[in-house]
Each structure stands twice: as C-alpha cells, then as structure tokens.
C-alpha cells in the first residue's frame, strides 16, 4: 500500500491531522504521521517525532526548543522537515504528502513540499491559500486548498474540506503509481518561454522542434514561469533552451510585477545547455489594473492588455540597459548559444502600426546587444517581426543545429 506523509503541528492541530489520517487509511493508503510542532506535547502520537526533524535541521536544536521562540522554532522545523521529507521520498518510503495548517504550519509543510520533485503528490490545506501563495508554492506543483474556516476542530465545513483533501492526495498518489508502471518518455526535452505577445513565434518553433524528435515544454513568462524554467534547466533535465520571451527582465529592471529574479537567463550557462535567446517582449513592463501603476510612472506610454493587466512601454534608456543585461548573461554561456534579433518588432504591439512601435527604443536595445555580446557568439538579425514564421523557423533551426552538433560530439 502506498504511504502518505501527514506532516503537521500536532501540538495545536493534532485532532485535525488524526481525522485526516483516518480518511486516508479508508482510501487504501498508509498514513505516516510526522509531527512538526515543538512548543507543546503533541495531541496525537506521531510516527516521526518533532525531535527527529529538529535534529535533521540543527544539532543544537535543544537550545532552540528551550528558548520557545515561535518564529525560531518554525524556521528550524521547516529546515528539518524539508531535509527529512526529501530523504523519505528519495528512498521510496513515502509516495505523497499532505498537511493542514495556519501560518506556521503552512510555512513548515510547504518548505518540505518544495524540496520534493515535480510530479510528487503534495497537497496543502491552508488558511492562507486564498491569498498570495507564491512564497509557499515557489516553482513547484503544490496543490493549495483554502481551509475556508480555521484549522480548529472538525465541523460541518472543515469535514468537507478535509475529506476532499484526503481524496485529492490519494487520487494523486494512485495516478503517480500508474505513471511508474508506464514506459518512461524517451524524447529529449527542450524548454521554451512564451507570452501572449510571442505565442505565434513559440508555437511555430515548437512545432518544428517537436517534428525533429524533441518534446517541448512551454513556460509562461510571468515571473513564476521564468523561475520554473530556470529550475528545470538547472536540474539537468533539459537538452536545450528556446528562450524567445525574456520579458521578465523588463519587469525585474524597471519594477513591474512579473520579474523572475536577477538569476533569470543564468541556468542555461551554469548547466551548459545549448540555447537560443531573443529579446522577446522586452518592450513591455507588466502591472495590474491601471489604478495600481505606481505614480512615478505617470506620463509613460501604456497599453491595456486586459482589465487586469496594464503594459508600460520601455524607454530607450531602459532598453539599452536591458540589451546590456541580456548580452552579459549570454556571455557567460559555455555551451553553444545564438542570439536572434527580430528587427521589425519584439512583440505583437511593437511591430509597425502597433501601440508600442518605437524605433528609437528598439535601436537602443539592439545596439546594446551588439555592443556587449561576445564576438564569438552567433548573432542572427532578421528584418521581420518576432511572430513572423521566418523568425520562428530561424530560432528552431538555430537550436536544432546546436543540438545536432552536440549529439555528434
């Protein structure tokens, strides 16, 4: 029978986790109760004690327990839970993980879940799940279920939520078990970055690369997507990178809401993976509703992508800096790489006739790339817009050329 780890703060939420364990047992899975609460004695007997998690985090854990500082204890248990749970999963001792929590419990449990591989079943029932869950989910596939009411006893609402959570984790475990019995996919992976404004380009390039025998995973360049792409490349699973949409760097530089962090565009270099890079959608910085745009940007050129998304055109000065950043990131690549420039527009709306058409800004961007890119890195300039099939084909062929050359070595 598959084993589901049930991790929680049993000193405050023991009854709730015991109820969840019984639900999981009824569905044919074996619950493994792991206590992450260290301020009081647990209300139920765990299979794995808080002391075991604490020891995994810090040999001096007794001193932390003695100080009884809640924040310090949560941080300690988060580290210990991540290390312990990841070890259990790697050794095949657990096949899924579920937890119920408020603020502290969610922080601890999701730290452990983020240490698990993509595809490993993980469900978090949390009082925080209806808000901004990015700090808890990160770039993983944690399923967050809003608790609706506090995780405090079994009542007519919490009973339904917990039953659904048990069904979800057991169903996911069953699906994962079936996957393990199926032949592993044998096509090498290529990862691609895409935005609505580059969809046509990426779709055509993807078609061509898949026709050559690769599987292409597309990541939406919304900050989280870029971080997920970088994480997958860093894991060593990707054979090539089709980085057509590097827009997240515009948000990172200017202060939009979809930045992917200063490490964006670095994983391919560190993992020594062949890549193509284009300045796709570096003409735009993303904000939410128009009223949420910071006052310091008054007077700038905006485009209402939809009621919830406001785009701001990057200036020539910003584009020059973005070109420098892009070039210097690619300069660190040691595997084959090509930079492609679509001279007639880097997004749908920056092409001639589009709302963000700005030849001066584009010239600053392209000029900075030319100036700062290493001389030995191929640079292909095409007198078309980014979504022209000619440009998509050039991107696909450049990456396939690198991949084929690597296969011959």
Q: DSSP states of 200-224 as a string?
A: HHHHHHHHHHHHTT-EEEEEE-SSH
Q: How far apart are CA 202 and CA 225, in angstroms?
A: 15
| pLDDT, position 43 | 86
| Distance from chain centroid for Cα 40 | 35
End-to-end CA distance of the chain: 46
In this structure, the number of other CB atoms found within 10 A of the CB of residue 148 comes to 14
pLDDT in tens, 164-197: 999 999 999 999 999 988 887 789 999 999 999 9
Q: Does domain 189-408 have CATH number 3.40.50.12030?
A: yes
Query: For the sheet containing 96-101, what is the strand order?
Result: 30-35, 3-8, 96-101, 122-126, 143-146
- Say what the pLDDT of residue 408 is: 57
Q: What is the mean pLDDT of residues 36-58?
A: 94
pLDDT of residue 122: 98
Mean pLDDT of the chain: 96
**pLDDT tens digit sequence for 107-125:** 999 999 999 998 999 999 9
Using CB atoms within 10 Å of the CB of residue 47, give its burial: 0 to 12 exposed, 13 to 18 middle, 19+ buried.
middle
Token couple for 56: 């995994």
CB 41 within 8 A of CB 10: no
In angstroms and rounded to an integer, the radius of gyration of the C-alpha atoms of the chain is: 24
pTM reported for the whole predicted model: 0.81
Least confident piece of the model among 161-170, 301-310, 386-395: 301-310
pLDDT, tens digit, 9 for 90 and up, residues 320-346: 999 999 999 999 999 999 999 999 999
Q: What confidence tens digit (pLDDT) does each residue in 210-261 have?
A: 999 999 999 999 999 999 999 999 989 999 999 999 999 999 999 999 999 9
Q: Would you state the pLDDT for residue 372?
A: 98
Q: What are 144-159's pLDDT values in tens digits?
A: 999 999 999 999 999 9
Give dist(CA 90, CA 134) in Å, integer: 25
- Are both 3-180 and 189-408 of the same fold? yes
Distance CA 78, CA 111 (A): 6
Q: For 155-256, where are the E strands, in sequence order?
A: 189-194, 215-220, 238-243
pLDDT at res. 183: 81
Angle at 237 between CA 190 and CA 222, to 5 degrees: 60
CA separation for the pair 57, 81 (Å, rounded): 8
Q: Is the pLDDT of residue 364 over 90?
A: yes
Residues 282 and 247 sit within 8 Å (Cβ to Cβ): yes
Q: What is the pLDDT of residues 76-98, one digit of tens each?
A: 999 999 999 999 999 999 999 99
Sketch the domain layout of the chain as residue ranges.
Answer: 3-180, 189-408
Query: Which of 2.60.40.60, 3.50.50.60, 3.40.50.12020, 3.40.190.10 would CATH assign to domain 3-180?
Result: 3.40.50.12020
């Amino acid at each position: 029978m598959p084993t589901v780890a049930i991790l929680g703060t049993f000193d405050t939420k023991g009854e709730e986790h015991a109820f969840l364990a019984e639900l999981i047992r009824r569905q044919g899975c074996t619950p493994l109760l792991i206590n992450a609460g260290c301020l009081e004695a647990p209300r139920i007997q765990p299979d794995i004690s808080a002391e075991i998690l604490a020891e995994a985090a810090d040999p001096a854990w007794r001193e932390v327990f003695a100080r009884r500082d809640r924040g310090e204890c949560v941080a300690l248990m988060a580290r210990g839970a991540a290390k312990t749970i990841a070890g259990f999963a790697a050794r095949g001792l657990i096949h899924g993980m579920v937890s119920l929590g408020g603020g502290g419990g969610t922080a601890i449990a999701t730290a452990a879940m983020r240490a698990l591989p993509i595809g490993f079943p993980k469900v978090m029932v949390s009082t925080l799940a209806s808000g901004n869950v990015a700090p808890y989910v990160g770039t993983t596939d944690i399923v967050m279920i809003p608790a609706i009411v506090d995780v405090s006893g079994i009542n007519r609402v919490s009973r339904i939520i917990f039953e659904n959570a048990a069904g979800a984790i057991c169903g996911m475990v069953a699906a994962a078990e079936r996957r393990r019995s199926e032949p592993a996919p044998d096509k090498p992976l290529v990862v691609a970055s895409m935005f609505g404004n580059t969809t046509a380009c990426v779709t055509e390039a993807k078609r061509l690369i898949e026709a050559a025998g690769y599987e292409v995973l597309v990541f939406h360049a919304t900050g989280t997507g870029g971080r997920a792409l970088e994480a997958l490349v860093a894991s060593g699973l990707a054979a090539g990178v089709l980085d057509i949409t590097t827009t997240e760097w515009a948000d990172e530089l200017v202060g939009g809401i979809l930045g992917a962090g200063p490490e964006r565009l670095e994983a391919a270099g560190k993992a020594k993976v062949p890549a193509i890079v284009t300045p796709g959608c570096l003409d735009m910085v993303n904000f939410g509703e128009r009223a949420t745009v910071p006052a310091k940007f008054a007077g700038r050129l905006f485009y209402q992508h939809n009621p919830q998304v406001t785009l701001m055109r990057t200036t020539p000065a910003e584009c020059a800096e973005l070109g420098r950043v892009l070039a210097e990131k690619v300069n660190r690549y040691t595997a084959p790489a090509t930079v492609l420039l679509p001279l007639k527009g880097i997004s749908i709306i920056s092409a001639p006739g589009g709302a963000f058409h700005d030849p001066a800004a584009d010239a600053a961007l392209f000029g900075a790339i030319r100036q700062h890119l290493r001389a030995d890195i191929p640079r292909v300039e095409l007198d078309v817009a980014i979504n022209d099939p000619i440009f998509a084909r050039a991107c696909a062929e450049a990456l396939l050329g690198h991949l084929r050359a690597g296969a011959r070595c």
